[in-house]
A and B are shown apart, each in its own frame.
Chain A
């Protein structure tokens, strides 16, 4: 990658990872319209910091890490509305309304929702994005060892909550 012209390198990176980053954001945001802004901001960061983007399996993890921080800013109301990608925005709002209109009341869904956000993010980085410990470390900015320890705890908490919800279906009153 070293020596590649910046624009070519960016386009290669963009083509290879745009669907994955879009998927990452769509699974964490209700509005496709807002996801377009966060996606644009994410790739804007990648373009400006092209020299910092790692190669190989860490590229996608690095982009998820940026997307995660941009999304956090967006949720704090610090996001921006872009003139970038109006066609993209139009396509997002036409086709990308959330599918799930009813909450999933299975024990697994309730256990997942009851977890702290940090646990949900860890478990979904494994199960939804299929990242390994090293990649998750890159996304979250922590060591592999810390990832393994936190993941172990998150799975334990999930299993405990799941067991609790599985045995208390009758008393559930929020349906």
Chain B
């Protein structure tokens, strides 16, 4: 797919709204902003539209420690891949078994009455074991979620250093949406990452710690080769946001950035001038 085709496909997905707002209503808003300013603000949020409640068993598992989540339940011959903890009107979901397959995560959500499907996607090393993204049919499906950072809303004395309190997801108990979340796994050789760092020099990536931006290609490549890199490619911007893949470029060109999309493969963004 070429850039114009991608943009056209995305353009066609723009939600259409046909409402027109009267000049009187616009004028009212403008007046209120400049004259009343903050004084016109009430602090209480409007109650959100009522949502259909999903019946959850009263005996929702409350997990104090990761180990507790590994207890098998009747009718289940595998330990849970996820742990679920009630916290007020929310459920905190955390990954217990990083090696579990996607079907087990999905089954765990289903047992909780949540229509959440889990996909496991190949990612670059720093994203392995992390919940990397979520999507739904509409914004309402996903706006009810919140991603939790390691250490956030942990049970008891668990901290970001504990395996049981890594990335998590906060879901309302009465979640009525249908969504898919993505979870990162180690990529196989040759497999393209679904998620990778902004730069191949970021923490955990192939070129971690190197500072290549602004160097000439001839100076940068020997540094790249000190790492476990099997293949180096070059990306040259030929039009705004449009890049050509090249196998080689002049040694006196400049490095503008780096990325890694597969194990052992690095691409250098380059151009004839410094960026």
Q: Which residues of A contact B (CB under 8 A)?
A: 7, 10-11, 14-15, 18, 22-23, 26-34, 37, 39-40, 43-44, 47-48, 75-77, 79-88, 90-92, 95-96, 98-100, 103-104, 108-109, 112-117, 123-124, 126-128, 132-133, 145-153, 155-160, 162-163, 174
Contact = CB atoms under 8 A, between A and B. Distances in A.
B19 A91 contact: yes
A30 B15 CA distance: 10
A113 to B, nearest CB: 4
B13 A152 contact: no
Given A86-B28, A87-B28, A152 B194 contact: no
Interface size class of B (residues with CB under 8 A): 35 or more
21 contacts: A26-B19, A27-B14, A27-B15, A30-B138, A43-B30, A44-B33, A48-B37, A85-B29, A98-B17, A99-B18, A112-B9, A113-B135, A116-B133, A123-B6, A128-B11, A151-B241, A155-B6, A158-B9, A159-B1, A160-B192, A162-B1
Interface in B13-62: 13-22, 24-26, 28-30, 32-34, 36-38, 40-46, 49
A43 B11 contact: no
Contact of A114 (B18, B24, B36, B180): B180
B45 A84 contact: no
B198 interface: yes
Q: By DSSP majority rule, is chain B's interface helix, strand, loop, or mixed?
A: mixed
A85 B34 CA distance: 12
Interface of B: 1, 3, 6-22, 24-26, 28-30, 32-34, 36-38, 40-46, 49, 117, 119, 132-133, 135-140, 143, 146, 178, 180, 182, 192, 194-196, 198, 235, 237, 240-241, 243, 256-257, 259, 261, 269, 275
Contact of B37 (A27, A47, A99, A151): A47
